[in-house]
Structure 1
């Protein structure tokens, strides 16, 4: 039997003011990735249940998933791999082992002043000098 009850699904408009042009966003240019939700900090990265786009990401060596870039990490995230292209809903706030897929911006034009995570934020995910060096295919301009 088909249910016709009313359902609500939360969503968030994706704020991509940090993206200066569509260059690098064509289909097939933003690789599909899996986010390790347990690597993110709720207060910094998903205060309303959505991991925001524009977070600088690193690849965790052990599980090959992505988490917030952190220059002081020792699990692979100390090397910036790209920028989270699209906001993603955390599947279950009570079970952070449920990962989620998204896309990774690996080249393009970005306004660093409009990235969502401020320098020195708890849990990483922000752009620093080393991340700029790692992300050679992304042009950072204001």
Structure 2
């Protein structure tokens, strides 16, 4: 008899997308899972769709929204496009949404468009 297993996937709430523009053009980027905290960033085992990220040394890390931080983790690279299951401690590739429209009220975490232009220099996102 074959052994069957069941696997659940995240709900993938993408209501934060302001339009369909750029969904097919998300770039692939490596996520540095060691920079994320299980209880804070993925308490249910998933990096949520719409999680803001920055790119440091070529890998995605949690975005630092502190207004004075305009280098490294303080420069918004975009948002994780779809829910991503975290398995183990190895870094993994995710789709990065770095241009298009974003409804900030629908993101999975509280987010305010940064005032400093330097924090947005890596994206072409319109916040609605």
Q: Deviation per CA, 1:90-117: give whole Å up to 9, x if none.
A: 012xxx3x11211111111110111111
How many Å separate the matches in 2 of 1:106 and 1:118? 18
Q: 2:46 aligns with which of 38, 43, 50?
A: 50
* CA 86–75 in structure 1, closer or farther in 2 if over 3 Å, else same: same
Q: Is the 8 A contact 1:44 1:117 kept in 2?
A: no
The 3-state SS of whatever aligns with 1:83 is strand
Q: Is the 8 A contact 1:18 1:113 kept in 2?
A: yes
TM-score, reference length from structure 1: 0.76
Which structure 2 residues correspond to residues 66-85 of structure 1 after superposition, within 5 A?
Answer: 66-71=60-65, 76-85=72-81
Higher helix share: 2
Question: For structure 2, which runs of at least 5 residues remain unmatched after alignment?
Answer: none
1:40 matched residue in structure 2:
36
What is the alpha-carbon root mean square deviation over aligned residues?
2.4
The 3-state SS of whatever aligns with 1:77 is helix
Higher strand share: 2
Q: Is the 8 A contact 1:56 1:127 kept in 2?
A: no
Matched, 1:137 2:128: no
Q: Is the 8 A contact 2:30 2:60 kept in 1?
A: yes
Deviation at 1:44, TM superposition (A): 2.5
Q: Is the 8 A contact 1:59 1:76 kept in 2?
A: yes
Q: Is the 8 A contact 2:75 2:122 kept in 1?
A: no
